[in-house]
Amino acid sequence: MIIKPKIRGFICTTAHPGGCAAHVNRQIDYIKESPSIQGAKKVLVIGASTGYGLASRIAASFGMGADTIGVSYERPASEGRTASAGWYNTVAFEESARAAGYIAESINGDAFSHEIKQETLKLVKEKLGKVDLIVYSVASPRRTHPDTGETFNSVLKPIGQPFSDKTVNTNTGVVSEITLEPATEEEIENTITVMGGEDWSLWLKALEEADLLAEGVTTLAYSYIGPEITEAIYRKGTIGQAKNDLEATAHTLTKQLERYDGKAYVSVNKALVTQSSSAIPVVPLYISLLFKVMKEKGLHEGCIEQAQRLFGKLYSGATVETDEEGRIRLDNWEMRADVQQAVQEAWSGITTENVSERGDLEQYRLDFLQLFGFGFDEIDYELDVNPDIQ
Ligand code: NAI
């Protein structure tokens, strides 16, 4: 099969196995070139196949020498259709990690379900024994509740009043005004059910009940705050309510983990191009302006640089530095006053005509393509490849 990108709105419906492997291997190379970290050795990553979860898994194995089990929900190849990028990433990660001598096992299925939790516990027991780090990095538009079978959908909407601002079609470069209607109470609740902390705590409960938590265990989940520009749609919107819930869950989990001398942290990460963030209105325009500013200031990072910095902070041996809410702040460079001021200046008066000059749309598009294994110079996209790899 000759595989080319097929972009529909903010998703790409194809993925390239060789390109996804190149993407994974670049991240592995970055970690191998970074100083190694004495940290976790037995790691479970939930949401391990793309974005921050994949980077965390790579940094755990190649940076800390950890054996890993990854859970994700990806599509295998089928008649005439490529697998999803996360599928290919997982195959590539397992291959490289095993070749380097690490245990790397993966489970593909719905992490929200009791069945996948039980299947994972069995595998953890068999392959890892107890775990000393659990990274929760699931991003999903829906969740079927394991007890009731009811399916909830999350929405990306403002709360209280309509919100209008500029957005960009990253494919065409057209900047336009968008108005989003506020969420209903039910939509807010549903978004919290999908993206809040409940499933994270169900995972910890299941691991504890199965006696799979090691002494000194750490668990991590990822959050975002962001600037005033995205506040109405992000932090003060429906997804922000879910993140408040996730952050509150860290405090509850830390209390529960006291008997293991363990700790639950939320890390507030930088805005980056991932399959999830590209679906949020307004955010891709903000990200393309932010990238330009951060690159100019030599502060630009991707998921893998963030994961490496996170484990460096977590396992430095010193007290883990947090903000007054107990959160680790990996967004400190994004939120620096000089960075935000420059983004704000670029934002005011942004139009289709000046967006390419004020923002880094090229980088945005390349990052987006690379999420699906496209845009790598070392890959010949004219070659016939087998999409069905396991
Ligand atoms: P992503 O879309 O790249 O990754 C999502 C992961 O969740 C994938 O591995 C996917 O297979 C897995 N997943 C989705 N539904 C699942 C299910 N039902 N069962 C098992 N696995 C499932 O997303 P990204 O951006 O890496 O997000 C991860 C976390 O990082 C989220 O909490 C997000 O809010 C947070 N974050 C993201 C930022 C960004 O700019 N992308 C910034 C700061 C935080």
Q: Please report, for residues 151, 190, 200, the alpha-carbon distance to residue 112 in angstroms, rounded to integers and kept in the order given.
A: 11, 14, 9
Q: What is the pLDDT of residues 267-316, one digit of tens each?
A: 999 999 988 888 888 999 999 999 999 999 999 999 999 999 999 999 99
Residue 19 has a CB neighbour count (10 Å cut-off) of 26
Q: What does the chain come to in residues?
A: 390
- How do residues 65-107 score in pLDDT, each as one tens digit? 999 999 999 999 998 899 999 999 999 999 999 999 999 999 9
Cα 222 to Cα 254: distance, rounded to the nearest angstrom = 15
Predicted pLDDT of residue 352: 96
Mean confidence (pLDDT) of the chain: 96
Query: Which residues make Cβ contacts (< 8 Å) with residue 165, sequence separation at least 6?
Result: 177, 178, 229, 232, 233, 282
**How far apart, in whole angstroms, are the C-alpha atoms of residue 295 and residue 341?**
15
Q: Is the pLDDT of residue 261 over 90?
A: yes
Q: Enumerate the active-site residues.
A: 234
Q: What is the pLDDT of residue 9?
A: 82
On whether the CB atoms of residues 327 and 266 are closer than 8 A, the answer is yes
CB 61 within 8 A of CB 135: no
> What pLDDT shows up at residue 151?
98
* pLDDT of amino acid 231: 95
d(CA 320, CA 264) in angstroms, rounded, equals 12
Residue with tokens 């980077």: 55
pLDDT tens for each residue of 124-155: 999 999 999 999 999 999 999 999 999 999 99
What is the value of pTM for the model shown? 0.97
pLDDT score of 325:
96
Q: What are phi and psi of 364, to 5 degrees?
A: -60, -50
169-213 per-position pLDDT tens digit: 988 999 999 999 999 999 999 999 999 999 999 999 999 999 999
Which domains does the chain show, CATH number per domain?
7-158+184-282+298-332 (3.40.50.720)
Mean pLDDT of 21-50: 98
Question: Residue 10 above 90 pLDDT?
Answer: no
Counting atoms of ligand 1 from 1, which one is nearest the CA of 49? 9
74 has binding-site annotation: yes
pLDDT at 373 exceeding the cut of 90: yes
Percent of the chain with pLDDT over 90: 95
The amino acid that residue 118 corresponds to is Q
| Ligand 1 environment, Cβ below 6 A | 47-53, 71-74, 86, 110-112, 137-140, 222-224, 269, 271-272, 274-277
| SS3 call for 96 | helix
Please, which pLDDT band fits residue 167 given cuts at 50, 70 and 90? very high
Per-residue pLDDT at 275:
85
For residue 171, the model assigns a pLDDT of: 87
Rounded distance from Cα 257 to ligand 1 centre (Å):
24
Q: Ligand 1 test: best mutation among 10, 20, 23, 50, most atoms within 8 Å of CB?
A: 50
Residue among 234, 251, 241, 243 nearest 325 (CA): 251
217 marked as part of a ligand binding site? no
**How many angstroms does the Cα of residue 95 sit away from the middle of ligand 1?**
22
The pLDDT assigned to 211 comes to: 98
